[in-house]
Chain A
Amino acid sequence: MEYQSQAVAKYYFTAAIGLFVGQILFGLIIGLQYVVGDFLFPEIPFNVARMVHTNLLIVWLLFGFMGAAYYLIPEEAERELYSPALAILMFWIFLVAGALTILGYLLVPYSTLADLTMNELWPTMGREFLEQPTITKLGIVVVALAFVFNVGMTVLQGRKTVINLVLMIGLVGLAVFFLFAFHNPSDLVQDKFWWWWTVHLWVEGVWELILGSILAFVLIKTTGVDREVIEKWLYIIIAMTLITGIIGTGHHYYWIGTPEYWQWWGSIFSAMEPIPFFMMTVFAFTMVNKRKRDHPNKVAVLWALGTGVMAFLGAGVWGFLHTLAPVNYFTHGTQITAAHGHMAFYGAYVMVVLAIISYAMPIIRGRAANSNKAQVMEMWSFWLMTVSIVFITLFLTAAGILQTWLQRISDTPMTFMAAQDQIAIFYWMREFAGVVFLIGLIVYIMSFFVSEEDEMNA
């Protein structure tokens, strides 16, 4: 580690992985509730467990992004972090606020939580992914501002690189577009319209800048390829991201009361959104092929390559599958959406966070790379989790196709619940794949505890 203050990343990475475990446990609960409807009912109803699943996902990814920034920004800027103390303070605030919110979901009915946190003063709760009490949302803004200030000052006072610049644009964008979470008009069409300014412009906009810069950093470090080459790729990838992704928001404006011209704008632009993801795949493989050194951390390279491939499959291919308006008319809000959501989130954001953790954690712990044994174990976890998510996606896609057919296309359409009964077998298989995912995650965590002595004997 070149700068002492990079070590604050360790807090963030540790919390990220801890919350990741929670996310998956709740994923298994709701996956089971899909087929055993009364599981944990009425103590933990589906909507509560689902909220825990998705909110933990977002929160741990944010911890991952912040950890990544605290690690790579000082190194790129060639100076210590502006304020390590502030970074630690914000870590605890974010962790405690997050934990209290999750406990709130689990311990009291949601409407009680809304009353306790005085949602009526500024109602923002009860919208998908943005379920947090308004006070928690304000806390997130405070943490985000302090964070952006801290890393921003570091960049300003240090060497300015393209990676730092792109990461900063992504992080500022993340904070800015979160502000739309506070805008909740009574008019449902307006509400839905602006909701996507947070949700879509995050995952198909500014987060991709964060993704690109983290990936570029890991590739520079592990391949030794010339910075000029990598930076040129990074610029062109994020250019394509925003050129296609901003207007691409229109793929959510087909059926929510917004004007019909969005069917054209949304279809055409979002159909091009796979391009930057494809470029990311080519980028990762080209850089690894052109590598000027063989970095001892093989598993970090594996995660980086995996990010390229899986982000393209999940966001690019599975996104394209249902993004054209005539297709989306039938698939909108079915298991096809869930299938895509899982592979896209995993392939793009989970994997890039695991890539930077894989690269940075050994260095923070005082070695260039982990022992061979630990790396082999981590590679096992890579394959277990990645293959599981592929199967989860395939099972949900099968369920979604059948659901669409039975409920929306057939001459004798079934009710929603009747169609669900018909496709239960796929939900069982998804749950099984989910258990394998959890095993992969356990193996991942175990790989951190392989002692270095083992290496000496091996």
Chain B
Amino acid sequence: MDEMFTKSMARNIFYGGTVFFFLLFLALTFDTMGVVPSRDNHENLTPTVIAGKTLWEENNCIGCHTLLGEGAYFAPELGNVYVRFGNSTEAIKGFIKSRPKDGIPGRRSMPQFNFTDEELEQLAQFLKYTSEINTSNWPPNIMG
């Protein structure tokens, strides 16, 4: 690199740039925290939904599915499954409940988790809550 451009100049760009852009990031984060409540559907974050989120986590659903486009790509997007299933929590519960224990021969299958009716309701309510988050019109269509 050019002789005029010294190591100490490079170092100063590193420290100055990092501090500046990290502070800018913090400012944007601060602003985001102010805007998020108008988009995150938190008013529907009931104890049932929160229990559903815990079930979602403790069964590692994200290990096969995406949720709002993040997760694994082995099984369908679930951020909008409530809408895809005709705005029906019953349909979601019915699907989860009816998974065969030994899977479907030759096909990708979802495990049978043996959830209680209460747990099924919690999960379905969590997925309904998720579908009502303002995601700037993502996914592009109902298929997820």
Contact = CB atoms under 8 A, between A and B. Distances in A.
A18 interface: no
Contact of B5 (A111, A232, A420): A232
Nearest to B20: A243
B7 to A, nearest CB: 4
Contacts of B13: 235-236, 239
A126 to B, nearest CB: 3
A229 interface: yes
B63 A189 contact: no
Highest count of chain B CB atoms <10 Å: which of A37, A41, A256, A408: A256
B62 interface: yes
Contacts of A41: 102-103, 109, 111
B133 A38 contact: no
A186 B7 contact: no
Contact of A243 (B21, B58, B60): B21
A126 B62 contact: yes
B21 A242 contact: yes
A378 interface: no
Given A187-B45, A257-B68, A247 B73 contact: no
Contacts of A250: 28
A242 B14 contact: yes
B60 A232 contact: no
Given A186-B53, A231-B7, A257 B36 contact: yes
B36 A33 contact: no
Interface string A290-309: 00000000000000000000
Given A36-B106, A256-B68, A415-B143, A190 B7 contact: no
Contacts, number: 233
A255 B7 contact: no
* Chain B interface helix/strand/loop/mixed: loop
A452 interface: no
A27 to B, nearest CB: 13
A256 B101 CA distance: 33
A42 interface: yes
Contact of A259 (B39, B58, B140): B39
B35 A259 contact: yes
Interface in A33-59: 33-34, 36-38, 41-42, 45-48, 50-51
Interface in B1-49: 1, 5-7, 10-11, 13-14, 17-18, 21-22, 24-25, 28, 31-32, 35-36, 39-42, 45, 49
A218 to B, nearest CB: 19
A333 B70 contact: yes
B10 A127 contact: no
B74 A259 contact: no
Contacts of A419: 143
Given A38-B103, A257-B40, A45 B111 contact: yes
A286 B4 CA distance: 18
Interface size class of B (residues with CB under 8 A): 35 or more
B53 to A, nearest CB: 6
B95 interface: no
A421 B8 CA distance: 57
Contacts of A192: 68, 70
A50 B63 contact: yes
A426 interface: no
B28 A265 contact: yes
Highest count of chain A CB atoms <10 Å: which of B10, B39, B63, B143: B63
Interface in B48-101: 49-50, 53-54, 56-64, 66-77, 101
Given A34-B74, A45-B111, A335-B73, A111 B21 contact: no
B134 A257 contact: yes
A136 interface: no
A50 B72 contact: yes
B108 A246 contact: no
Given A42-B102, A189-B39, A416 B108 contact: no
Contacts of A36: 106
A123 to B, nearest CB: 6
A414 B74 CA distance: 16
B100 to A, nearest CB: 10
A128 B66 CA distance: 10
A419 B113 CA distance: 26
Contact of B72 (A120, A125, A128): A128
Which 8 pairs, one residue from A and one from B, show the smallest C-beta to C-beta distance?
A: A47-B63, A126-B57, A333-B69, A37-B108, A255-B138, A235-B10, A239-B14, A416-B76
23 contacts: A37-B107, A42-B101, A46-B74, A47-B64, A48-B63, A50-B64, A50-B74, A120-B54, A127-B62, A128-B63, A188-B67, A188-B68, A188-B130, A232-B5, A232-B6, A235-B14, A238-B14, A239-B10, A255-B136, A258-B39, A262-B28, A333-B70, A415-B76
